[in-house]
Amino acid sequence: MSTKIFCDIADIKLIKKFNKKNIVKGFTTNPSLMRKAGAKDYKEYCKKILKICSKKPISFEVFADDYDNMLDQAYKLNSLGKNVFVKIPVCNSKGNFCGKIINKLNKEKIKLNITAVYNSKQTHNILKKVNKKTKLIISIFAGRAGDTGKDPIPEFEKKYKISKKI
């Protein structure tokens, strides 16, 4: 297990700037950030980012909330480039674990970024659904736990121990 720094941005000027920095190992974005950055066409904006960021990993997120549409979007995003990770939420807007789609895409060797992971139970559930030979990013949102007044360090320690066992 290793820690890498990824920029969570969609602004083209900032992507150009941080793409030149060695400490930045990749990028991640989401539909809200892209809209805020002025994107009118999601797919075309992804392509614009990929012209700048062709060597480092970049995560593009599905925005559908149901299995079939998430799957369709995941395939389309994956087809954009070899450095693309498809960003899948750990749970949909109804709070349902997205394990079925995580498992399916992982079996098809699609690189994934599982996002908005808050606790060790979610980490455990993700790791039970994946083959660790396929590239995978688990985006842990420790800051949001800290915002609630909860110390995120014990959760990090649990997640690390779980990742070593599975």
Burial of 13 (0-12, 13-18, 19+ CB in 10 A): exposed
Calculate ∠ Cα 92-97-101, nearest 5°.
85
Query: What is the reported pLDDT for 115?
Result: 87
- Structure confidence at residue 61 (pLDDT): 96
pLDDT tens for the chain, 166 residues: list them. Answer: 567 788 999 999 999 999 999 999 999 999 999 999 999 999 999 999 999 999 999 999 999 999 999 999 999 999 999 999 999 998 899 989 888 999 999 999 999 999 877 677 777 778 888 887 888 877 776 665 666 666 666 666 665 666 666 5
Stated pTM of the model: 0.84
Distance CA 1, CA 157 (A): 12
Burial class (CB in 10 A: 0-12, 13-18, 19+), 115: buried
pLDDT of residue 28: 93
The span from the CA of 166 to the CA of 164, in Å, is: 6
CB environment 29-48: b (16+ within 10 A), e (fewer): bbbeebeebebeebeebbeb
Number of domains observed in the structure of the chain: 1
**Residue 131 pLDDT:** 85
Q: What CATH number is given to the structural domain containing 34?
A: 3.20.20.70
Q: Please give the pLDDT value at position 123.
A: 76
pLDDT at 142: 61
Residue ranges making up the domain that contains 21:
5-165
Calpha distance 25→6 (Å, rounded): 6
Q: Which residues are catalytic?
A: 87
pLDDT of amino acid 159: 56
